[in-house]
Structure 1
Amino acid sequence: MASNSTPPTDRILRNQRFHLYPKEAWYCLAVFIFVVACFQWGSFLHSKYARRGRGSEMASREHEPGPASIRHAPSLRRVPLAFVNAYRVLAFRWTVEIGQSYTLNMAEVFVTIAYLAFLLIWEFINTTDLEGNRLNLSYWSHRAGILAASQLPLVTALGTKNNIVSLVTGVSADRLNYVHRVTARTCMILLWIHGGSEVYAYSIFKATLHRAWLRLGIAALVALSLLCIVSVRPFRQGAYEFFFYMHLSLVLIFLLGAYYHAKEVHYSYWIWPSFVFWALDRFIRVCRLVAFNHSYFGWKSGSGTMDATTELLCEHVVRLRLRRPPHFHWAPGQTAYLIMPSVSRLPFEAHPFTIASFDSSLFVPVPTEGKAGSNEQLSDKHHQDELGSVSPFWKELVFLINVRKGFTKRLQEVAATNGKIKVFVDGPYGPSPNLGSYDISVLVAGGSGVSYTLPVLLDVIECVRNGKSDCRRVVFIWAVREADHIHWINEALVKAVQLAPSSLTVAIYIHLTGPSAVTTPLGEVDSLHTASVGHDGHEPSVKSKQSILYMPGVTVEQGRPDLDRMLKEEVMTTIGRMSVSVCGSQPIARAVRNALRFPVSSPSNILRGGPSVTLHVESFGYA
C-alpha cells in the first residue's frame, strides 16, 4: 500500500479519486459498447431488410446493355456506401502479420492500443499532489490495482460463451475472445505497475510481507503472469490441452487471491461479480447440456441413441457423426462443444468444432406414393436405424475434425478402428452469416474448412428456392490435398447442384493441392462414389450414384487456387452486393484479404457502380 505519511488533504483527494476514476472509466467503456452495439445492430438490420426497395434497381440494371464490368459515372448517392467499404478495407483487410501464423487486422490493433492507452491515462492523470510534486507515488500506485480490479468483471465476461457483451453488441463470443485476452494482459500490466511501486516503497512492503492478504496478492499476480504467458498463440495451438488445464487452475488462483487481497482495502466489490458471471455461464451451459443429452441422464428411454460413430477419412481428418436430437437446431456456420469422456483426459473437457451438416428438410428424399413408395419409405427408415446410412449431411450432426496433438490424436486412434464413442453436445454457438440480401456469395475453404462453407452453400440454395434470397450466383472454392478427399462431401454437393433453381448459378471450383494429386487421374476418383451392392442385395443409400466431378458448373484443377485472380474477376463482373466467406489456414485468409483490398474495393470503384463487398473470415483451428 502507498504511504500514509502524506498530508490529510492529499489523502482525502487521493482516496476520492480511487473511488471515482474506475467508475468514470466504466462510463466510457459503457458508451463505447453502446456505440459498437448501434453499429452492429444497424448493420444487421440493414442486411436483413436490404432486399426491400432493391428490386426495381436490379431489374433496371439487368436490362442495361453490356457486361456488368462496365461501370457508370461516379454517383454522389453512393458516397456513404463508398465510405463504408473503405472502412471495411482499412479496419479488417489491412493487417499486421507476425510470423507465418499470426495476423492482426487494424481493428484489433486499434482496440489493443486504445484500451491500453485508455487505462494508462486514467492511471496517471491528476497524479500531482497539492505541493506540486508530479507523479506522486501515493496517487498512482494504489490506483493501478483498483483500476485493474475494476476491469476483472469485463475480462471474465468476455471469456465466457454466454455473456452480456455479446447479447448487447451482437458480436459473438468467439470474436470477443481476442478482446478478452487484450483486457487480461492490460490488467496484468496495471498490476505489475501496482506491485512494482509497492516493492519500490520497500520499507512498507517489507513491513507487511508477513500479512496473508499481501502474500495472496503476490500469488495472484504470479498466476496471472503465467496465464498470460501460456495463452500466447504458439502455446494455445501447439499444446491446447496444457493451456486448457493451466487456464482453469491459474484463473482460479488469481481470482481467489485477488479477492482476498482487495478485501483488505475494501475493494472486493469489483472482483466478486467475476465469480457470478463465470457461474452463470456454467449454469447455462450445464442446462443446455442436460437438455440436449437427456437420454443419458435417464429421462427418456433409448440410452446411447446419441453415441457417435467415427471414421478416419484420411491421416489428418476424422469424421464424427451422431443423430441430431429432435430439439437441437442450428444455423450454418455455427459450432458445438463436444464432450467425450472416453477420449479426453478430464471428463468435463469441451472442445469446439464447426457443424458440417445442414439443419433442413429440403434435401431429404421424399418417398413416392403407392406400394413402391411404402417399401421405399420402410427401407429409408431401416437405413436411418443405422447411423449415417441416409443423407448424412442433414439427418445427423456431422463434424470434420483436424487431427493435431492430444485430444484429437486420441480421437484419431478411435476412428482408425471405426469405433463408437459417447458424446455430449453443448451448443450451438457463434453467428451465422445472413446472405439473403447479397447478389453474389463467394465461399472459400481449405481442407476441413469446408465444414463451414458447405452448410452455408446449402443454406443459400434453400433460401433462393424459398424466395428468401436475391442471390443470383454462388461460387464455391475448395482447396483440398488429395483427389479422393472429394468423397467427404460428394453426395451433398451433387444434391446441391441438382436442387439449385434456374435463377441461381452455382459455380464449384475444387483445387487439388497435394503432391500426389498431380499423378492421380481425376477419372479414378469417380470409383469412390459409385454404388456398391450390399450383402442383402440392396444398394446402400450412403453411396452416391453420381460424382460431383461430372456435374455442370464444376471445375476440378490441380494446384493451389489463384484467389487473387478469381476474386478480382468476380468483383469486376458483379453489381449490387457481394459476400465473401473464408475458412481455412492463415495463407488462405491472407490471400483473400489481399485480393479484396484497394483498388478492387476502392471508393472510386464503388462510386462508379462497383459491388459493395463484405468479408467474413472464420477462424481455423484453435483461437
Structure 2
Amino acid sequence: MEEAVAQIYTTKNLGAQFYIDNFNNATKYEIDSTSITNKNSPIYSPTLPNMTYAKGYASELNVFYENYDNATYFGAGLCVYFAVVMLLGTIFTFLINVGASQKFVHPIVSYLRAYIIIPTMFSKGRNAQPMGGFKVFTGLFPDRVDSLICLGYTVLHIVFWAYPYHSSPAHTYTWTSQLEEIRRLVGDRSGIMAFGEIPLLILFGGRNNLLTFMTGFKYTSMIHFHKLVSRFMIIDALIHSVNYVLLFEQYWARALKTLYFVCGIAATTLAVAIWLFSFHPIRSRMYETFLYFHIIMVAGFVSMCWYHCRDMGFCEWIIAASVFWVFDRVVRVIRMSFFGYRTANLTLINDETFKVSVKRPKTYISSPGQYGFVYFADALLWFQSHPFTVYNDGENLVLYIKVKRGITKKIHNKLVANGGKMTKKLCIEGPYGESSPVGKYQNALLLTGGSGVPGIINHALTLSAKTKPQNIKFIWVYKTIKDLNFYFEDFLAKLKDSRVIVDIYLTRETSLEGAYLGTSTSTFGSSDEASYKDKHKAKEHTSFGQLPSFINFKLGKPNMEQLIKEEVESFGGGSVGIVACGPPVMMDHLKHAVSKEVVSYKDRIDYFDEFQTW
C-alpha cells in the first residue's frame, strides 16, 4: 500500500522504509517553534507550525466524512431491511409450497396467523376496498402483516434520522456557526439516504420482480412497499433540499448558475409532483393518465438525480435503479415478443363483461390464478395494458374482461355495434403472479364472486383432474342466473362428473321457479360420487325446473363468517387450503372470517388471496 502511494509522488520506487527513515531523521532534530525568537531569520532545523487550525479543520473533516459514511450505511441498511423481510417470506413460501407448513398447527402459530398474517390492518377493516371519505380523501391500506413490515421500516428510518450527529467542537474553521454545520450534516445524510431508496422504488414498482416469485408476496404488497419507500424518499429529499437552500441563501444567484444545484431543485420538484399525482382519487379515476405521467416524471427524476451528483459520487444507487428498470422493460418486451399479436374472438356476455378467447402459444405456460397484461391492437390506445386472470381452456386462453374506461369501454361499444361478436388482435404479457399451492392440502375450499371466477374455476378443474384424494368445494357468489348460461357452457358443465362440490349463491334472485341452465333439460349427476359429495346431496336443489342437480343453488348473499365456519367443519378434519378472488367487499369480509376460523379449527388452515389491486 505504501509503495503504491509513493508512486503517486515520484517515478522512483523508494519503498516505505525510505519515508520512515526520513521521518525519524526529521523528528530527531525537531525544534519547538515557540523557541524561535527571530521569525525573520532562516530556520535550519525541522519544526512544526501552529497546528491549532490544522487540527480544528481535520476535526471538522472527520465529522463531515463520518456523516457521509453513516448515511451510506443507513441507505444500505434500508435495503438490507427489505432483504431480510424477503428472505423470511421466501422461507415461509417454500414451506407452504412443499406442504411442510401443514405440520405447524401449534396454538401460538395459529394465533400469529389469525391476528397478524391474515387479517386487515384494522379489525373488520378494509384492504381490498379503499378507505376514507367524500370520495376524495381515500386510499388503499395494506393488510396487517404488510402494515407491520411498513411499521418496521418506519421505525428503522426514524432511528437513522435520529442517530447522533457528532458535531466538531470547533466548527468555525469550515462553517460560520454550529447551526450551519448541523444543516450540512442533516442535509447530506437525508440526501444520501434518499438515493439509497431509489433502487427499492424501482424494484418494488416493476412487474418482472423475482421477489414476487420467491417470497409469495403479491404484487399488491410490493406496490404498498413501493408507496411507503417513495414517501420516505420524498421526505428525505425535502429535508436535504430545505437544508441546502438555507445553506446557500446568501449565494442563491450564484448557486442557480450551477448544473448540480438546478438539477437538485428539479429532482425534488418532480418527486413531490409524482407523489401528488399518485393519490388514490386521481389514480382510481384516471389510471391511464396517472400511469404514463408517472413513468415520464420518474424518468425525469432519475435523470435529474444523476446530473445532480455525477461529479460528487453516490450515482451507484442511480445505476442500480436503472438496471432494475431496464431489466423489467427488457423482460416485458421478450414476453410480448414470444406471444406476439394474435387474432382473438371477442364475445359480449352482458353490459359489464365480455369474453376473450385466443389460441395459446406453446411458450405461454400458466397455472391457475395467474394473470396477464392485455394489449389490444388499437390506433390510439395500443399502449394501454390491464391485468386479467387467464383461464386455460385446452389450446385456448380465455379471459373475462370487466368493462371500465379506456380501451375496454371502446371495445365494449364496438361489440354492441357488431351484435355481440367480433375479432381483434391482441398481445398478452405474462403470465404473472404465483399459483396458490392449494393442491398440498387435504381439503380445498375455492371461493369467488362476480367476474373473479376464471382463476378459481381453473383451480377447481386442475384439482379435480388429479388422482390425489382431496375434498374440493367450489363456491360462487353471483348476482342473477340469467348470465350463468354463458359460463355454464364455458366451464361449469365440466364439473358435472367431477368430485367438486359446487354451490352458487344468487344474491339478487328471489325464486328459481322455471329457471333454466345449460343446453339440455336432463338432470346432471353421478350415482358413484365420492363420500364427501354424498354428504351434500341433501343440499342439492332439483325442484327449480331445468337446473343441473350437481350444482347447489342458494338464494341471497351468504354471511362469510358463518359460511367459512360451516364449510370448514363440513370437511370433518384435515388441513384446509382456502383460495379466493372476488369483489373487494367480499374479499375483506373473507379475511376477517378466515382469521377467526384459524384459531378455532384444530388442523391447519391457509388462506390464499388472489385478488390484486393497486
> Do Structure 1 and Structure 2 share a fold, with TM-score over 0.5?
yes
Whether 1:523 aligns to 2:514 is yes
Which deviates more, 224-233 or 235-244? 224-233
Unaligned runs of 5+ in 1: 1-5, 55-77, 297-305, 359-392, 532-546
Q: CA RMSD in A?
A: 2.8
Match of 2:506 among 487, 503, 512: 512
Counterpart-to-counterpart distance in 2, 1:440 and 1:475: 8
Amino acid in structure 2 at the alignment position of 1:459 = T
Aligned to 2:136: none
Whether 1:329 aligns to 2:365 is yes
SS of the residue 1:596 aligns to: helix
Aligned to 1:301: none
Instruction: Determine which structure has more spread, i.e. the larger CA radius of gyration.
Output: 2
Aligned to 1:409: 409
Counterpart-to-counterpart distance in 2, 1:151 and 1:487: 51
Instruction: Within 5 Å, give how 1:43-82 maps onto structure 2.
Output: 43-50=93-100, 81-82=106-107
Cα distance change, pair 324–437 in 1 and its aligned pair in 2 (3 A)? same
SS of the residue 2:272 aligns to: helix
Shift of 1:118: 1.6
Instruction: Within 5 Å, give how 1:346-365 maps onto structure 2.
Output: 347-355=382-390, 357-358=391-392
SS of the residue 2:440 aligns to: coil
Counterpart-to-counterpart distance in 2, 1:446 and 1:237: 21
Identity between Structure 1 and Structure 2 (%): 21
Cα distance change, pair 34–168 in 1 and its aligned pair in 2 (3 A)? farther
**1:344-392 deviation line (CA, Å, top 9, x unaligned):** 62x333321111x23xxxxxxxxxxxxxxxxxxxxxxxxxxxxxxxxxx
Counterpart-to-counterpart distance in 1, 2:292 and 2:82: 33
Aligned to 1:425: 428
Higher relative contact order (CA 8 A, sep 6+): 1
Shift of 1:419: 2.2
Aligned to 2:496: 498
SS of the residue 2:369 aligns to: coil
Match of 1:181 among 206, 227, 241: 227
Amino acid in structure 1 at the alignment position of 2:567 = E
Cα distance change, pair 116–454 in 1 and its aligned pair in 2 (3 A)? same
Cα distance change, pair 175–471 in 1 and its aligned pair in 2 (3 A)? farther
Counterpart-to-counterpart distance in 2, 1:548 and 1:592: 32
Whether 1:613 aligns to 2:601 is no
Counterpart-to-counterpart distance in 1, 2:278 and 2:505: 35
Aligned to 1:22: 72
Counterpart-to-counterpart distance in 2, 1:79 and 1:45: 10
Counterpart-to-counterpart distance in 2, 1:126 and 1:315: 62
Aligned to 1:341: 377
Whether the 8 Å contact between 1:343 and 1:407 is mirrored in structure 2 is no
**1:567-600 deviation line (CA, Å, top 9, x unaligned):** 01123344221122221222101211121233x3
Counterpart-to-counterpart distance in 2, 1:342 and 1:79: 52
Whether 1:33 aligns to 2:27 is no
Cα distance change, pair 14–560 in 1 and its aligned pair in 2 (3 A)? same
Shift of 1:119: 2.2
Cα distance change, pair 43–248 in 1 and its aligned pair in 2 (3 A)? closer
Match of 1:250 among 277, 297, 302: 297
Counterpart-to-counterpart distance in 1, 2:213 and 2:436: 17
Cα distance change, pair 314–106 in 1 and its aligned pair in 2 (3 A)? same
Match of 2:553 among 537, 556, 560: 556
Counterpart-to-counterpart distance in 2, 1:184 and 1:324: 38
Whether the 8 Å contact between 2:438 and 2:579 is mirrored in structure 1 is no
Aligned to 2:316: 269
Instruction: Within 5 Å, give how 1:533-548 maps onto structure 2.
Output: none
Shift of 1:38: 4.2
Cα distance change, pair 266–43 in 1 and its aligned pair in 2 (3 A)? closer
Whether the 8 Å contact between 1:260 and 1:268 is mirrored in structure 2 is no
Aligned to 1:363: none
Match of 1:287 among 314, 334, 339: 334
Whether 1:568 aligns to 2:568 is no
Aligned to 2:46: none
Cα distance change, pair 175–35 in 1 and its aligned pair in 2 (3 A)? closer
Whether 1:149 aligns to 2:206 is no
Which deviates more, 161-170 or 575-584? 161-170
Aligned to 2:12: none
Cα distance change, pair 522–291 in 1 and its aligned pair in 2 (3 A)? farther
Aligned to 2:112: 87
Whether 1:109 aligns to 2:147 is yes
Whether the 8 Å contact between 1:576 and 1:611 is mirrored in structure 2 is yes
Cα distance change, pair 343–185 in 1 and its aligned pair in 2 (3 A)? farther
Counterpart-to-counterpart distance in 1, 2:282 and 2:239: 26
Aligned to 1:371: none
Aligned to 1:597: 595
**1:134-173 deviation line (CA, Å, top 9, x unaligned):** 9922221111111110121121111112234345535454
SS of the residue 1:557 aligns to: strand
